[in-house]
Amino acid sequence: MVIIDSTYELSSPFLDMVSDIPVLTFGKRVQALDHQIALTGVNVSFAAAGLTGNAATIAEKVDPLVQGWISGEAVEDQNLHDFLLASANQPSLSVLQDQMGQHMDASQHYGLSVTQHANSISHLENLHSFGTEEGSFASIREAEYTWFKATYKNTDDLLNGRISTMTGLAFGRQVALDENWRSGLGAIVNRNKFDNALLSSEGTSYHIGAVLKYMNGPWLATTALSGSYQEAESHRIVPGGAIARSNQRGSGMSARFRAGYEFELGTGYVMPLVDLDVSWMRAGSRISGNRRWNVRSGGV
């Protein structure tokens, strides 16, 4: 295939007039006698494009499919074919990275593990930090109490156009075991929802936890453990306007270890605290609705 035909004499530097792009690498040669640059071949590889993160994993998955199409295999999903064809001709690596991530990376469409971790840590915070009304070191000493908490949070993320809403209902009870020891139980239910131009998702998380606290004068040491379960349903728009629907489930355990000391300063005080939060999360999803766009992970 002749791609440049010139009336002037061509030499090897003119090959730079035909440059590679992230997915496409061109074979070319100068036909000096005919004053032409000829295209001798094209190598197509998403995996070699320099993508990173989940986009690189996606690239490795689609390459065998693309090679099959090049070899003459039938196109079973025209939407996917057209999207990858347009992506292969994208000259900008950063734009290609965004395209592959926004349309094909299921992990970005519902941050199940991140949301679950945030809700779990919020629940652990509910189990802590209730001082007494009077007495020495009142701010750091823990009393018996019953608590109830309702929350509402609305966030508008201007970077990706996502609007998030979270509502929650929490309750619990703490009792005294003796002069120095306290124990408590608590539970929380959170409802999470978010929308942007490409997706809509809604989910519910359930958390139940326990805390054990030891107090000795100005010192406080606590250990809290929370178990959680979360489920969500979402749908997203994939290239060509098709809808991919997902069913997600997650579970996990979170713990908080706290140490604190109260310095009394007349009518005031200073109370430094050190927290160590640890979470283990397991999440999975099943995406359906558009053949090759379907994804399954985590055994859901």
- Domains present along the chain, CATH in parentheses: 14-104 (no CATH), 110-298 (2.40.128.130)
| pLDDT mean by block of 10 residues, the chain; 300 residues | 42 59 80 63 88 85 89 83 87 87 61 73 79 72 86 80 85 91 93 79 90 92 93 72 74 92 84 90 64 52
Residue 290's pLDDT is 53
pTM, full prediction: 0.62
The 10s digit of each residue's pLDDT in 38-80 is 777 788 999 899 898 878 888 888 898 899 988 899 888 777 7
Map residue 285 onto helix, strand or coil. strand
Residue 286's pLDDT is 61
What is the rounded distance in angstroms from the CA atom of residue 170 to the CA atom of residue 77? 47
Q: At residue 176, what are phi and psi to the nearest 5 degrees? A: -90, 130
Residue 227's pLDDT is 93
The answer to whether the beta carbons of residues 211 and 109 sit under 8 Å apart is no
What is the rounded distance in angstroms from the CA atom of residue 3 to the CA atom of residue 36? 8
The answer to whether the beta carbons of residues 24 and 44 sit under 8 Å apart is yes
